[in-house]
């Protein structure tokens, strides 16, 4: 297990945008994020809106418009480029090189299935596009691939669906088509940016079930971005909790859910409804996600923290992400054992791959 | 919404109400256009040789409409019918070609600006703003003066001298009108490109590995066709009107070559006869060109409106 190499390794990634207040300051949407995805693993990135989850995923495919965005520092090492040679830094690739990765080795599905399909093309033409773009296959064979992909995502009568326009499909069907499009080129990694947020609950369950099944069959990895902890608990192997552009807790899904170390993670878990619970009001985390133009000094979470709000250290110094317990990282001064944290280096290379 | 409810109240006594126009306006406009446009274009080979047949003296000058001359004759005894037919061909071809030029320039300029964004976009759109600010008549006249000697020399190679002069006039005028009417098209297209660029399916296509050229030709342009077609049909009448207006002022098509605009200008003097009992009103000199021009513009606008309703998806439900 230990000499296994991650498929994707994000190292100390920082992405900034110009501040909207007109000054020439730059706002860091993501700063110092490190995470890695192993083959056949699902990594869930969790956090409230605006904490940098999507920016992290978009950076992986260099989809952040630059300018105005800018990759300040960091690397995104990708080892999925066929022959298992040296990992390449995706951020250093040219536009032309990254286009060979997009949709081919790393595919992405988006939050909004209603608007993520081009209204003027049939389903078939849209699924064919990445296939014809990346694989030098003749059209007839590509059509067969598209039909297979549609069958695989559970769409009935795929030949007929190929000739239909997106407006005739429901949201769940469109998300299935998006998944079929993403999977048509057999990617090694699937970036799923809140794939179920716009769907109703029964369809959500079906789509997640489908993703699990496909992951199992294809042996691909998934980077799952979500704010739904229920989704995380059922689908993820490893969880990265993000807050204000940083990873604040990182560990296996079992560790994070049963023994959360960071008060933010505890707050998120506490605010989940529990089936059969008699409480009428759900617990909330007071306050709001801080505006990126104006992050508080020290730990960005300290103004909302219920644990030790008045600790001067929290307000003064930013806690680094340390390995507080065996293979369980947290960035909180008050995490039990943080002061003598076993590893002073936030080394994130090891992780257990659960539920194979 | 207000206009819809207002028109439904007045349905009983207005035969040509809004609902009828919505349903049938496009077809009606098309029929009118064909009835006027086809004869003008089909008779072109004959009207070119007959428009300037002067018959001075006798009863032939200023004859009122009769069986031999269905639309009467003018001061020089020329048949108003032939002159209107050729004038129609001139006006329609200037309108159509100018609109095409405007579409090509406008679409290229607008997509280039919208696509590049940032400073390039700002610079390109400021150029449009500046051109908007200049009076277009001035621009047309300048372009006309600059282009006409070149055009005459160019066409002189292929045509006889007198024909070349006439053709050169028409061609320079349509280039000049086209060269100044692309501004609105550029703005419309740029706006559409900007809103398309923010659409999730464009980002999804990028995430699939689609390159910039393919993105433009396969994802942006097909989504622009609707607005471009609609706006083109509305640019044609504007161009025709501009041509007629310029000819009316004496800047556009020069005598003896007719266009609906300068035919109407010739007929304008007849208006002096109004209210003066001693003088005969030679109505045929002004009524024919104005009617033809008006009906053509109406037809084009009806067709454009109807296309707009059919191609703009958001108003489709409301129109049905």
Q: Do A103 and B207 touch (CB under 8 A)?
A: yes
Q: Residue B73 CA to chain centroid, in angstroms?
A: 27
Residues of A in contact with B223 (CB under 8 A): 118-120
Question: Average pLDDT, stretch B284-295?
Answer: 88
Say whether pLDDT at B304 is over 50. yes
Question: Average pLDDT, stretch A326-334?
Answer: 81
* DSSP state, residue B209: T
Q: Are B292 and B280 in contact (CB under 8 A)?
A: no
Q: Are B270 and B281 in contact (CB under 8 A)?
A: yes
* DSSP state, residue B79: B
Q: Which of B115, B197, B209 to mutate to test the interface with A (most CBs of A within 10 A)?
A: B209
Partner residue opposite B201 with nearest CB, options A61, A115, A133:
A115
Please give, rounded to a whole number of angstroms, the shortest distance from the CA of A117 to a CA of chain B: 5
Identify the contact set of chain A against chain B, taking CB-CB distances under 8 A.
61, 63, 67, 96, 99-104, 107-108, 110, 112, 115-121, 129-130, 133-134, 178, 181
Partner residue opposite B209 with nearest CB, options A100, A115, A118:
A100
Lowest-pLDDT range of A9-18, A330-339, B24-33, B310-319: B310-319
Partner residue opposite A133 with nearest CB, options B203, B210, B223:
B210
Q: Is B135 on the interface with A (CB under 8 A)?
A: no
Lowest-pLDDT range of A66-80, A340-354, B268-282: A340-354
The model's confidence at residue A352, banded by pLDDT at 50, 70 and 90, is very low
> Six-digit token pair at B254?
């020069």
pLDDT at residue number A347 = 47
Q: Which of A193, A191, A321 is nearest to A250 (CA)?
A: A321
pLDDT at residue number B2 = 44
Q: Do B203 and A102 touch (CB under 8 A)?
A: no
Please give, rounded to a whole number of angstroms, the shortest distance from the CA of A84 to a CA of chain B: 22
Residues of B in contact with A129 (CB under 8 A): 205, 208, 210, 218
- Please, what is the average pLDDT of chain A? 80
Query: Exposed (0-12), middle (13-18) or buried (19+): which is A50, by Cβ within 10 Å?
Result: middle
pLDDT at residue number B189 = 92
Lowest-pLDDT range of A140-144, A273-277, A326-330: A273-277
Q: Do B207 and A178 touch (CB under 8 A)?
A: no
pLDDT at residue number B317 = 38
pTM of the predicted protein model: 0.72
Which residue did the predictor score with more confidence, B297 or A354?
B297
Q: Are A223 and A235 in contact (CB under 8 A)?
A: no
Question: Average pLDDT, stretch B218-235?
Answer: 84
Q: Is B116 on the interface with A (CB under 8 A)?
A: no
Per-residue pLDDT of A198-220, as tens digits, reads: 777 888 888 888 888 888 888 88
Question: Average pLDDT, stretch A45-67?
Answer: 82
Please give, rounded to a whole number of angstroms, the shortest distance from the CA of B207 to a CA of chain A: 5
Residues of A in contact with B208 (CB under 8 A): 102-103, 107, 129-130, 133, 181
Partner residue opposite A130 with nearest CB, options B208, B218, B222:
B208
Residue with tokens 């028109």: B7
Q: Which of B199, B308, B258, B295 is nearest to B80 (CA)?
A: B258
Residues of A in contact with B217 (CB under 8 A): none
Residues of B in contact with A107 (CB under 8 A): 207-208
Q: Is B118 on the interface with A (CB under 8 A)?
A: yes
Say whether pLDDT at B257 is over 90. no
3-class DSSP state of B26: helix
Please give, rounded to a whole number of angstroms, the shortest distance from the CA of B204 to a CA of chain A: 6
Question: Average pLDDT, stretch B198-205?
Answer: 85
Say whether pLDDT at B190 is over 90. yes
The model's confidence at residue B14, banded by pLDDT at 50, 70 and 90, is low
> Six-digit token pair at A48?
């409230």
Residues of B in contact with A119 (CB under 8 A): 201, 223, 313
Q: How many CB atoms lie within 10 A of CB B165?
A: 17
Give the integer Cα–Cα distance in Å for B27 and B215. Answer: 36
Q: Do B207 and A108 touch (CB under 8 A)?
A: yes
pLDDT at residue number B316 = 39
Which residue did the predictor score with more confidence, A85 or A113?
A113
Per-residue pLDDT of B119-165, as tens digits, reads: 899 999 999 999 888 887 888 888 888 888 888 888 878 777 777 77
Q: Do A118 and B219 touch (CB under 8 A)?
A: yes
The model's confidence at residue A154, banded by pLDDT at 50, 70 and 90, is confident
Please give, rounded to a whole number of angstroms, the shortest distance from the CA of A107 to a CA of chain B: 7
- Percent of chain A exceeding pLDDT 90 equals 0
Residues of A in contact with B200 (CB under 8 A): 110, 112, 115-116
Q: Which of A96, A101, A120 to mutate to test the interface with B (most CBs of B within 10 A)?
A: A120
Instruction: Name, of A160-169, A327-336, B288-297, the range with top average pLDDT.
Output: B288-297
Question: Average pLDDT, stretch A93-108?
Answer: 84
Q: Do A110 and B204 touch (CB under 8 A)?
A: yes
Q: Do B201 and A103 touch (CB under 8 A)?
A: no
* Three-class DSSP labels, A251-317: EEHHHHHHCCCCHHHHHHHHCCCCCCCCCCCCCCCCCCCCCHHHCCCCCCCHHHCCCCCCCHHHHHC
Q: Are A150 and A95 in contact (CB under 8 A)?
A: no
pLDDT at residue number B127 = 92
Q: Do B204 and A104 touch (CB under 8 A)?
A: no
Please give, rounded to a whole number of angstroms, the shortest distance from the CA of A105 to a CA of chain B: 10
Residues of A in contact with B199 (CB under 8 A): 115
Give the integer Cα–Cα distance in Å for B168 and A43. Answer: 71
Q: Do A116 and B204 touch (CB under 8 A)?
A: yes
Backbone torsion region of residue B72, taken as left when φ is above 0, otherwise alpha when ψ lies between -120 and 50, otherwise beta: left
Q: Is B224 on the interface with A (CB under 8 A)?
A: no
Q: Which of B119, B194, B201 to mutate to test the interface with A (most CBs of A within 10 A)?
A: B201
Say whether pLDDT at B109 is over 90. yes
């Amino acid at each position: 297990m230990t000499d296994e190499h991650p498929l994707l390794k994000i190292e100390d990634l920082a992405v900034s945008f110009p501040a909207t207040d007109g000054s020439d300051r730059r706002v860091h949407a993501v700063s110092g994020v490190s995470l890695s995805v192993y083959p056949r693993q699902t990594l869930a990135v969790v956090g409230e809106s605006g904490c940098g989850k999507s920016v992290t995923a978009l950076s992986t495919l260099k989809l952040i418009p630059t300018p105005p965005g800018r990759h300040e520092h960091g690397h995104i090492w990708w080892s999925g480029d066929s022959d298992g040679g040296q990992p390449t830094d995706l951020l250093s690739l040219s536009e032309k090189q990254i286009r060979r990765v997009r949709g081919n080795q790393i595919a992405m599905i988006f939050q909004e299935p209603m608007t993520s399909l081009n209204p003027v093309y049939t389903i078939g033409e849209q699924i064919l596009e990445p296939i014809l773009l990346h694989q030098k296959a003749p059209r007839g064979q590509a059509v067969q691939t598209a039909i297979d992909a549609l069958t695989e995502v559970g769409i009935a009568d795929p030949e007929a669906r190929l000739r239909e326009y997106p407006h005739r499909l429901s949201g769940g069907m469109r998300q299935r088509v998006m998944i079929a499009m993403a999977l048509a080129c057999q990617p090694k990694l699937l970036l799923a940016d809140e794939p179920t947020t716009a769907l109703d609950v029964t369809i959500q369950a079906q789509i997640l079930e489908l993703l699990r099944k496909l992951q199992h069959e294809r042996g691909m990895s998934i980077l799952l971005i979500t704010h739904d902890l229920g989704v995380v608990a059922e689908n993820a192997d490893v969880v990265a909790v993000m807050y204000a552009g940083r990873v604040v807790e990182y560990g296996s899904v079992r560790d994070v859910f049963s023994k959360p170390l960071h008060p933010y993670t505890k707050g998120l878990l506490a605010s989940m409804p529990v089936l059969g619970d008699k409480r009428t009001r759900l617990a909330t985390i007071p306050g709001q996600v801080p505006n990126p133009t104006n992050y508080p000094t020290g730990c960005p979470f300290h103004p909302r923290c219920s644990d030790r709000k008045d600790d001067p250290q929290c307000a003064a110094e930013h806690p680094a992400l340390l390995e507080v317990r065996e293979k369980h990282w947290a960035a909180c001064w008050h995490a039990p054992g943080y002061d003598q944290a076993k590893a002073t280096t936030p080394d994130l290379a090891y992780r257990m791959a659960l539920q194979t | 919404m207000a206009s819809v409810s207002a028109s439904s109240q007045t349905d009983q006594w207005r035969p040509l109400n809004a609902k009828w126009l919505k349903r049938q306006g496009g077809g009606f406009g098309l029929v009118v256009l064909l009835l006027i446009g086809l004869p003008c274009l089909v008779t072109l080979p004959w009207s070119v040789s007959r428009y300037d047949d002067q018959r001075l003296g006798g009863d032939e000058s200023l004859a009122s409409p009769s069986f031999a001359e269905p639309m009467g004759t003018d001061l020089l005894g020329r048949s108003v019918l032939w002159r209107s037919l050729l004038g129609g061909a001139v006006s329609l071809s200037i309108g159509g070609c100018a609109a095409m030029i405007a579409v090509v320039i406008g679409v290229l300029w607008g997509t280039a600006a919208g696509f590049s964004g940032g400073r390039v976009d700002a610079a390109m759109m400021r150029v449009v703003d500046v051109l908007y600010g200049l009076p277009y008549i001035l621009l047309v006249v300048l372009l006309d003066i600059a282009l006409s000697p070149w055009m005459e020399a160019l066409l002189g190679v292929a045509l006889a001298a007198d024909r070349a002069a006439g053709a050169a006039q028409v061609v320079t005028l349509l280039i000049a009108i086209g060269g100044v009417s692309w501004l609105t098209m550029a703005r419309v297209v740029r706006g559409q490109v900007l809103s398309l660029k923010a659409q999730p399916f464009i980002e999804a296509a990028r995430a699939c590995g689609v390159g910039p050229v393919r993105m433009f030709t396969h994802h942006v342009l097909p989504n622009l066709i609707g607005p471009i077609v609609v706006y083109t049909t509305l640019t044609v009448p504007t161009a025709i009107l501009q041509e007629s207006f310029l000819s009316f002022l004496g800047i556009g098509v020069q005598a003896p070559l007719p266009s609906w605009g300068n035919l109407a200008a010739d007929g304008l003097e007849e208006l002096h006869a109004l209210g003066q009992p001693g003088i005969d009103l030679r109505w045929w000199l002004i009524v024919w060109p104005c009617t033809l021009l008006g009906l053509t513009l109406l037809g084009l606008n009806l067709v454009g409106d109807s296309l707009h309703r059919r191609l703009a998806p958001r108003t489709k439900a409301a129109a049905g």
